[in-house]
Amino acid sequence: MLAAVAAIPALLLAALSIYATANDGSVSVPVSTTPALVALPPVMPTPLLSLRRSPSPLAASRRTALLSQAVQPLATAVDGTSCVAVGMDDNLVAATNADLQVIPASNLKLVTATAAVQVLGAGAVFTTSVVGATPVNGVVDGDVYLVGGGDPLLSEQWYTQPSASRKRPPQHATSIEALADQVVASGVTSITGDVVGDGSRYDDELHPPGWSRDIRSSADGVPVGALVVNDSITQSGGIGDDPAKSAAATFRSLLRDRGVVVGGNATTGVAPSGAGVLATITSAPLSDVVNEMLATSDNLTAEMLVKEIGRTVAAPGTRDAGLQVIGSKLAEWGVPAGTFTLVDGSGLSRENRITCNGLLTVLHRGSGSDVVGGAMAKAGDAGSTLDGKFEVPGLQGVLQAKTGSLREVKALCGYFPAAGGEVAFVLILNGAAASNYAGPWEQLGQVLLATAAAPSASSLAPRQT
């Protein structure tokens, strides 16, 4: 129709030209009276006003519709003590009790990790040093100090190996043996004094309040300090009650194993200002440390990061200072003050509180491909908290999440890619519901798989033929 209308002026002009030629006195030229055929454009395979002309919004709308429909059974099943919040492309799609303050367990590590990366930087490293008097003919006259720099993954080789009691050993360990090797390589053959552990970078609080007695006596709740080796766990399975002293004892043994004569004992203290540096070793970058914390749910790493955040921003390396900074960050990210209570950074305390909306807000400010999201375990990852979980086609190796478990608490939050978009989810079960978490987790898996079936923007783009 449009082509026909467009042809009318051309026909009129042609007729006018014929008329003018016939009346100008010139020689007449026969002209065909048959109108010229106008070539019509080919029929467009996709109409001009088709929704396919805006495929991205169309795909996003379809993804959201599928998610909204699929999540309803799960949202309905969540009881009054628990909460769920699911978002698509940074928008809330469905929720139940999303503003209810619940115990998050280790899902709180998401907050700690996000704050640590923002405050410290993804490339930050932690340095452990050995300082003392300059050796003369290989002899250090006096004490040698092992100075902690906040490295939570300082370990001996044996501690990095899986065992029956340690199913998730350090994955990004810093070798304490390498530090001892450096001391020997510097020419030290004898130390007349003690090996002194210096953990003065942080305060002396070993356990956050709210940690139960059984947690404090287990490998989950080892003492917190700025100088820790092997999580203060011995090869026989015991747990040292003074991290700096345990680290000094380990380092003294390593030096002696390498032929260095140590005249004194393993003690604790503060290195004198201006002491010479005999050796140093740095950790993996914070991005790897965060991966360690999230993928294996490392509680010690979380608590040390809280103190490091406090030391970086407010000077004192204390839990209170670090938590104040993290609380300020939550408010900055859009989580209202009064909707959360922070007692530690690991989530081991039952006094911690946050809402599903709060955690979803933190997830939405990032993504599954950034430092924090990429540091989460993926479904089925060996040696992670998702080992043996969600091992079904479409979820295994794709879903990435942080788990959380305490008595009467089961939590899961994370990301799932969905045909060009991204689902962020938080499911926290408190009370009796936590003991039957398998059902809701399976429902959540089905919800995520439903969004995977959504069409992509490219599949909805205008057809070419």
Round the CA-based radius of gyration of the chain to a whole number and report it: 33
CA geometry: angle 189, 195, 199, nearest 5 deg:
140
Indicate whether 153 and 23 sit together in one domain. Answer: no
Indicate whether 168 and 75 sit together in one domain. Answer: no
**Which of 284, 318, 350 finishes a domain?**
284
DSSP assignment of 80-104: TT-EEEEEETTEEEEEESTT--B--
What's the total number of domains in the chain?
3
Indicate whether 160 and 226 sit together in one domain. Answer: yes
Q: What is the pLDDT of residues 230-252, one digit of tens each?
A: 999 999 999 999 999 999 999 99
Q: How far is CA 103 from the centre of its chain?
A: 19
Non-local CB neighbours of 51 within 8 Å, separated by 6+ positions: 58, 460
Indicate whether 13 and 78 sit together in one domain. Answer: no
Q: Determine the Cα–Cα distance for residues 295 and 153; give it in Å rounded to an integer.
A: 14
Please check whether residue 325 lies inside any domain of the structure. no
Of 386, 425, 388, 412, the residue nearest 106 (C-alpha): 412
Non-local CB neighbours of 181 within 8 Å, separated by 6+ positions: 258
163: pLDDT confidence band, cut at 50, 70 and 90? Answer: confident
Q: Determine the Cα–Cα distance for residues 7 and 22; give it in Å rounded to an integer.
A: 23
User: What domain range includes position 151?
Assistant: 127-284
CA geometry: angle 354, 308, 195, nearest 5 deg:
135
pLDDT at residue 25, as a whole number? 47
Indicate whether 137 and 267 sit together in one domain. Answer: yes
**Which amino acid makes up residue 317?**
G
Task: Say yes or no to pLDDT of 318 above 60.
Answer: yes
Indicate whether 137 and 246 sit together in one domain. Answer: yes
Non-local CB neighbours of 187 within 8 Å, separated by 6+ positions: 135, 138
β-strands 83-88, 127-132 pairing: unpaired
Q: What is the pLDDT of residues 325-348, one digit of tens each?
A: 999 999 999 999 999 999 999 999
Average pLDDT, the chain: 90
User: pTM here?
Assistant: 0.86
